[in-house]
Amino acid sequence: MRWALRRSTRYNLVAIPALALIGFIWVYPFLWSISAAFKTELGVFTSGAGLIPAPFKWDNFSRAWVQAGFGEYFFNTVVYSASSTAIEVTKSALANEKSQGINVSIKCYTFPSRPSSSRSSR
């Protein structure tokens, strides 16, 4: 009796390793960037493509915060994201208030309600 695989199984035997390789190639630069944050300046350029730094250097984060002005950039990001979120929430609330009695069908699709559970089960 001949051992045969289904077509989908054969495709999976090729597709899954290929996608895993593509995924690793895609995610490796991000992992390298994270590991480079813990390396010395010399270690970034001499260690090659290695992910684990020989001496972990935690000073890079404090140096970036102080010398590069990262604190100011972080504050600007917090102010921008908080204000834009507040503006969008306010706009959405006002749009909901205006549509209270005008177009019920759009409101049902936009804000679906749960069916009432007042029915008795038999």
For 58, the token pair is: 């935690």
Triad 65, 66, 72: Cα angle to 5°: 65
pLDDT over 80 at 118, yes or no: no
* The total number of structural domains that make up the chain: 2
62-113: pLDDT as tens digits: 888 889 888 899 999 999 999 999 998 888 877 766 655 555 455 555 555 5
User: Which residues form the domain of 92?
Assistant: 69-111
Q: Is 39 exposed, middle or buried (0-12, 13-18, 19+ CB in 10 A)?
A: buried
Are 13 and 47 within one domain?
Answer: yes
Residue 91 domain flag: yes
Are 45 and 12 within one domain?
Answer: yes
pLDDT at res. 111: 53
Residue 22 domain flag: yes
Confidence bin at 117 (pLDDT 50/70/90): low
Are 21 and 36 within one domain?
Answer: yes
Are 63 and 76 within one domain?
Answer: no
Are 77 and 58 within one domain?
Answer: no
pLDDT over 70 at 30, yes or no: yes
Residue 76 domain flag: yes
